[in-house]
C-alpha cells in the first residue's frame, strides 16, 4: 500500500464518508481548491489503479467506492509516522502531544484506563 498525495487522501476521506459516489458527488464535497471535473476524474481513476478505489458501471458513468478501509490505511500510515517521527516510540509520540498541549491530563487518564482494561468498552 503506497502513501497517497494530500489531494488523494482528501478524496479518499470523502469516499470513506459517502461510502459510494459519482465524481460530481465527490466534487460537491470539496470545499477548498475544488479541482475541475476532468482533473478530479483522473485522480479517482489513479486511485483505482493504485487499488484504493473500485467502481460499479452504469452505462458510461461510474460510481466509485473505497477498496481500502480507513482503518487499514490509518493503521499503516500511523505506524509509519510513529517510526519516522517518534523513533518507533508511542511514549515519544504521546509526550510530543502533551508538550504541544494537544492532549489533556483527562485524555491521558482515559488512555491509561484503556491500556489497563483493554476489554472494557467506553
Per-residue pLDDT of 106-117, as tens digits, reads: 888 888 888 888
Average pLDDT, the chain: 90
Residue with more model confidence, 37 or 84: 37
pLDDT of res. 121 = 62
Distance CA 46, CA 89 (A): 34
Do residues 23 and 41 make contact, with C-beta atoms less than 8 angstroms apart? yes
Verdict on whether the full-model pTM lies above 0.85: no
pLDDT of res. 44 = 96
Angle at 32 between CA 27 and CA 36, to 5 degrees: 45
pLDDT band at 77 (very low <50, low <70, confident <90, very high): confident
pLDDT at 8 exceeding the cut of 60: yes
Among candidates 52, 51, 28, 49, which has minimal Cα distance to 40? 28
pLDDT band at 75 (very low <50, low <70, confident <90, very high): confident
CA 110 to each of CA 36, 78, 86, 106, 121: distance values in angstroms, whole numbers, following the listed order: 44, 20, 22, 6, 12
Do residues 122 and 107 make contact, with C-beta atoms less than 8 angstroms apart? no
pLDDT at 70 exceeding the cut of 70: yes
With pLDDT > 70 as the criterion, what percentage of the chain qualifies? 98
pLDDT of res. 122 = 54
CA 87 to each of CA 21, 81, 95, 97, 99: distance values in angstroms, whole numbers, following the listed order: 39, 9, 13, 15, 17
pLDDT at 68 exceeding the cut of 80: yes
Amino acid at each position: 500500500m503506497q502513501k497517497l498525495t494530500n489531494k488523494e487522501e482528501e478524496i479518499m476521506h470523502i469516499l470513506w464518508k459517502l461510502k459510494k459516489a459519482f465524481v460530481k458527488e465527490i466534487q460537491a464535497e470539496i470545499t477548498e481548491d475544488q479541482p475541475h471535473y476532468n482533473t478530479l476524474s483522473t485522480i479517482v481513476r489513479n486511485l483505482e489503479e493504485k487499488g484504493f478505489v473500485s467502481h460499479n458501471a452504469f452505462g458510461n458513468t461510474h460510481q466509485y467506492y473505497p477498496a481500502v478501509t480507513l482503518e487499514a490505511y490509518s493503521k499503516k500510515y500511523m505506524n509509519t509516522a510513529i517510526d519516522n517521527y517518534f523513533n518507533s516510540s508511542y511514549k515519544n509520540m504521546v509526550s510530543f502531544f502533551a508538550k504541544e498541549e494537544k492532549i489533556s491530563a483527562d485524555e491521558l487518564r482515559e488512555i491509561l484506563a484503556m491500556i489497563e482494561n483493554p476489554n472494557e468498552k467506553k
